[in-house]
Structure 1
Amino acid sequence: MTAQGKIKHTARTARGKVKEIVGRAVGNKRMVRRGKTERVTARIRHTAEKGVAALRHRGKAAKGRTQEIVGSATENNHMTMRAKLSKASARISEKLNK
């Protein structure tokens, strides 16, 4: 997930919370509902994007493992080293995503 996506979802969550608070302050139930809906929707989208990013990183790691095995079997050092780099990159990206 990109930093831009995190900012976008955080802003939407905050905007929903503000609507909810203002709605309560003025006694507007419709605004309270809309704010709560907006806040929950932003959290759901954020969670979904995190899941997609995690799957993407796991796919890269699996590809790296496969390349490493093939490189070792064929004694191709270049492929093995590239695969190790790919695995490490995927692990780092996954940790940063959390």
Structure 2
Amino acid sequence: MSVGDKAKHTAEDAKGKVKEAVGKVSGNERMQAEGQADQAEAHAAHAADKAKDTAKNTGQEAKGKVREVAGAVTDDESAEAKGKAEQLAAKAKQHLNK
């Protein structure tokens, strides 16, 4: 998930919280419900982006493992090192995705 996407989801969530609060204070149940819906939509979009990134990172990690094993089997130290590096990069990206 890009920083822009994360900021967008956070802004949508904040907008929903403001709407909900204004709805509560003014007694406008419709506005309050719209605010809650905006928040739920922002949370769902954020979760979908995280899931997409998790799948992408898992695929990159698997690709790195394949390259590492292939390098080990063929005694290609360069391929083995590249595979390890790909795995570490994918794990780092996944850690940042949390």
State the TM bucket, normalised to the shorter chain: over 0.9
Count the aligned residue pairs.
98
Structure 1 residue 77: Cα displacement: 1.4
Alignment pair present for 1:74 and 2:74: yes
What is the aligned partner in structure 2 of residue 51 from structure 1? 51
Map Cα deviations across residues 13-71 of structure 1 (whole Å, 9 max, x no partner). Answer: 00001001101111111111111100011001101111111111111000000111111
Report the residue type matching 2:40 in the other structure.
Answer: V
* Structure 1 segments unaligned to the other structure (5+ residues): none
What is the aligned partner in structure 2 of residue 19 from structure 1? 19
Q: TM-score, normalised by structure 1?
A: 0.95
Question: Which aligned runs of 4 or more in structure 1 are off by greater than 2 angstroms?
Answer: none
Q: TM-score, normalised by structure 2?
A: 0.95
What is the aligned partner in structure 1 of residue 95 from structure 2? 95
Higher deviation after alignment, 59-68 or 21-30: 21-30
* Counterparts of 2:74 and 2:20, CA distance in 1: 62
* Counterparts of 1:72 and 1:26, CA distance in 2: 68
CA RMSD of aligned residues (A): 0.8
